[in-house]
Structure 1
Amino acid sequence: MQFQISEELIEKIKYLVEQRNDEELLLHLEEVHHADIAEILTELDLDDATYIVKLLNSQQTAEALMELEADRRERILENLSPKEIAEELNEMDTDDAADIISELSLELQQDVISEMTDEQHADDIVELLRYDENSAGGLMAKELVRVKENWSVTGCMTEMRKQAENVTRVHSIYVVDDKNKLKGRLSLKDLLTAPSHANISDIYIPSVDYVNVHTDGEEVARIMQKYDLEAIPVVDEMNRLVGRITIDDIVDFIKEEAEKDYQMAAGISEDVEADASIWKLTRARLPWLILGLFGGLGAVYVMKGFDEALSEYVELFFFTPLIAAMAGNVGVQSSAIIVQGLANDNLRGSLFNRLLKEIGLTLINGLALGALVVIFGLIVGMPQLVSFTIALSLMLVIIIAALIGTFVPIILDKQGIDPAIATGPFITTSNDICGIFIFFYLSKTILGF
């Protein structure tokens, strides 16, 4: 039966913590999965959550800490001593431990590393901290199973048993030479069916996909997705095997990148959580709100330049929100598709062909929407010339908005800027101003005011 977290359970745990009834607390929590432990820690206040982390063994809480949101985890770690944090890190894979320790201050990092009992584990963590967190080096774990090409099958089995003790899941077996350079991979089936006197060099598969420590995380994700890999080895500049990236790590990376892009598209300038501080949330949202404010003031200034039109053709005033909304919507739709294509690396063909395709698409959409505006004008008895002007303006605005939404992300990507910023207030604001200007300028040309 699946473990259920209820209000009654949370209240029970709170009561047991308050009473310092460690024996019954352990009875309730010792066999609980680490993901459920993390959910319980989220529901408790900071002091109670810290008490639980200190009470349970590090093997159980280490994985639970990784399941917590970064801000929550950081606050719990602040309540632990360097020795207690080190005990948690000793139970983690090196990639997870490096992620945890990177969230600490430099001074606390040094204190924690000095408290770690496994020196090799500490050295591996320090090595991972050298790499950019979004690179293959920053995503990889040092735990893996490697065998040498000159080993016999019997000797290989003995060595693998020793190495596997420190590896949570053995996805792949990698073959290296005496200088630790990656040579290929070893099939477990081939290993088990090979004669005991055979050498690994006779049975390993020389073809193996791998990435460099400096390969961008998004490229790693693309390669693993394309070739359906559960794990991929990582090599350094000299082609020496230094780690591996597993599917769960890359899924976490993709999730974090998607959340960041979603927030950026919504006009949030930095990665924040729902329970972040008011100051951090304000700092993340305010810059784009200011941009929106200036965009709105710009639109007001544009309309002010056509005040004669608003007095002579009052209908134009009522259609202004429609023009602005359609410009923003079309721009966001176009940019969202392009950003998705850039992220998945499936944007193919020349810019000219994409230009023709986008113009063709927007012409069809613009004609359909313009026709609906003309029909609406006939129904409400609006002058036909005004209806035609609004419909034509809408078509032109849609075309311009689609082109801006298409090419701005491409240009940003070529400049090394995350194109996700193009799908939010940036596109909406620019298209609002541009759309309103086109609307009134075309109206002035046709209606002659």
Structure 2
Amino acid sequence: MPFEITDELIKQIEELILKQDNETLLGLLAEEHHADIAELLEDLNLEEATYIIKLLDSEITSDILMEMDEDDREKVLKNLSSKEIAKELDELDTDDAADMIAELPEERQEKVISKIEDEEHKADIKELLKYDENTAGGLMAKELVKVYENWNVLKCVREMRAQAEFVTRVHSIYVVDENEELKGRLSLKDLLVTSTKTHISEIYIPKVDSANVHDKAEDVARVMQKYDLEAIPVVDDKNHLLGRITIDDIVDVIKDEADKDYQMAAGLSQDVEADDTLWQHTRARLPWLFLGLLGGIGAASIMGGFEDLISKHAVLFFFTPLIAATAGNVGVQSSAIIVQGLANNDLKGSIGERLFKEFSLSLINGLALSLFLLLFTWIWKGNMLTSIAISISLFSVIVVAGIIGTFIPLFLNKRDIDPALATGPFITTSNDIFGILIYFWIAKMVLGI
């Protein structure tokens, strides 16, 4: 049966905590996965969650804490002493331990680090804290299995057994020289079928994909996705092996990037979650809403400049929302395709080629929609000249919106600005304004006013 959090289960655990019936509580949680327990703790209050964390063994609670929501974990950590946190860190891989420490206030970080008993583990964590969290160095773990090219197979197996004790999962075996420079990787099959006296230099595979410690996390994710890697070694500028990044960390990067792009496309200026405070939601939404307001004021001002035209041809006013909406939709469609291509690194050709392709597509879509609108308006109002003016305007708006929607994300990407910005209210508002201006300007030209 899959784990399910019910009101009855929550009530039962709360009663056991109140009675301090630790034996029954431990028995109840003994068979559950740490991810399920983390989900359970998020439904308890802070005191109850802290009680369970202190009750369970550090080997289990370290994994539970890493599975918890960042805000909930931060609250629980505030209720733990520096020594208690240090015990949790001793059970974690260095990358997870560094992430947890980084969430603490600076003045508390040093206190916690000083309580870590394993000196090597402590040194590795302090090294990882030096790197930006959005780089390969910020993602990597120091735990890995490495062998030296001058070892024979017998010594290699003996040393691997010792190293594997401290590695949660052995994805790859890396080969280095006496200077710790990455030379390649070792196949387990070759290791098993080769004579114990054979040197590793004779059987290792020299070709190995690696990431520089300063590479952006998104770039590492693209490499691992492209080559279907479960782990990738991390090296410095001199190709010295420093650590490795595993697929679970990359999945988190991809998810975070997707969440950020989705929120930006929806018009949120920063990461927010459903249970964040009212002030956090206001700060995230208000800037873009204000931009939309300015766009509306701009559109109203443009319409005010064509007051005589609207007074003589009132039907033009009725098609204003259609023109604005179409401009916004076309722009968002174009920009979304470009942003997706940039994110997946599969956008081919120059900017000119992309613009020409989008221009051609806009011509086809514009022609189909404008002809339909021409027929509809003519049948509805019976005025061919007005129908032509509206249809030409729609055609022009679609072409311009398609070009803007293509150019802006490409331009932003060239300037190292997140192109996802172009799929949000920014592109919609700008295309609304351009659409209204083009609409009334062309109508005025065609109708001769």
CA displacement 1:369-427 (0-9 Å, x = unmatched): 11221222134234222222111111111111111110101111111111111110110
User: In the alignment, is residue 86 of structure 1 matched against residue 97 of structure 2?
Assistant: no
Q: With structure 2 as the length reference, what TM-score do the two structures score?
A: 0.97
Match of 1:368 in 2: 368
Q: Distance in 2 between matches of 1:50 and 1:382?
A: 74
The answer for unaligned runs of 5 or more in structure 1 is: none
Q: Does the CA-based 8 Å contact 2:351-2:410 persist in structure 1?
A: no
SS for the counterpart of 1:441 is helix
Match of 1:248 in 2: 248
Q: Does the CA-based 8 Å contact 2:190-2:203 persist in structure 1?
A: yes
Q: How much does 1:331 deviate?
A: 0.6
Which residue identity is paired with 1:299? A
Q: Which moved more, 1:346-355 or 1:356-365?
A: 346-355
Q: How much does 1:20 deviate?
A: 2.3
SS for the counterpart of 1:214 is coil
Q: How much does 1:38 deviate?
A: 1.4
Q: Which moved more, 1:2-11 or 1:405-414?
A: 2-11
SS for the counterpart of 1:43 is coil
CA displacement 1:132-154 (0-9 Å, x = unmatched): 11111111111100011111111
CA displacement 1:329-354 (0-9 Å, x = unmatched): 11111111101111111111122222
Q: Does the CA-based 8 Å contact 1:63-1:92 persist in structure 2?
A: yes
Match of 2:186 in 1: 186
Match of 1:136 in 2: 136
Describe how 1:24-43 pairs up with structure 2 within 5 A: 24-43=24-43
Q: Distance in 2 between matches of 1:87 and 1:379?
A: 78
The answer for unaligned runs of 5 or more in structure 2 is: none
Q: Which moved more, 1:58-67 or 1:419-428?
A: 58-67
Q: Does the CA-based 8 Å contact 1:150-1:199 persist in structure 2?
A: yes
SS for the counterpart of 2:319 is helix
Between the aligned residues of both structures, percent identity stands at 63
Q: Distance in 2 between matches of 1:309 and 1:19?
A: 79
Match of 1:62 in 2: 62
Q: Distance in 2 between matches of 1:19 and 1:446?
A: 83
Match of 1:440 in 2: 440
Q: How much does 1:87 deviate?
A: 1.5
Which residue identity is paired with 2:316? L
Describe how 1:181-330 pairs up with structure 2 within 5 A: 181-330=181-330
User: In the alignment, is residue 169 of structure 1 matched against residue 159 of structure 2?
Assistant: no
SS for the counterpart of 1:233 is strand
Match of 2:337 in 1: 337
Match of 1:121 in 2: 121
Measured at CA, do residues 184 and 433 of structure 1 come closer, stay the same or move farther in structure 2, by a change above 3 Å? same
Q: Distance in 2 between matches of 1:31 and 1:140?
A: 31
Moved over 4 A (4+): none
Q: Which moved more, 1:381-390 or 1:427-436?
A: 381-390
Q: Does the CA-based 8 Å contact 1:71-1:273 persist in structure 2?
A: no
Q: Does the CA-based 8 Å contact 1:37-1:61 persist in structure 2?
A: no
CA displacement 1:100-139 (0-9 Å, x = unmatched): 1111111111111111111211211111111111111111
Q: Distance in 1 between matches of 2:119 and 2:45?
A: 34
Match of 2:97 in 1: 97
Which residue identity is paired with 2:55? L
Q: Distance in 1 between matches of 2:100 and 2:395?
A: 52
Q: Distance in 2 between matches of 1:392 and 1:19?
A: 77
Which residue identity is paired with 2:208? V
Which residue identity is paired with 1:404? I
Q: How much does 1:268 deviate?
A: 1.1
Q: Does the CA-based 8 Å contact 1:140-1:243 persist in structure 2?
A: yes
Q: How much does 1:156 deviate?
A: 1.0
Which residue identity is paired with 2:432? D
Q: How much does 1:3 deviate?
A: 2.6
Q: Distance in 2 between matches of 1:134 and 1:188?
A: 32
Q: Distance in 1 between matches of 2:72 and 2:274?
A: 11
Q: Distance in 2 between matches of 1:106 and 1:205?
A: 43
SS for the counterpart of 1:154 is helix
Q: With structure 1 as the length reference, what TM-score do the two structures score?
A: 0.97
Q: Does the CA-based 8 Å contact 1:335-1:405 persist in structure 2?
A: yes
SS for the counterpart of 2:232 is strand
Q: Distance in 2 between matches of 1:277 and 1:119?
A: 40
Q: Distance in 2 between matches of 1:126 and 1:318?
A: 65
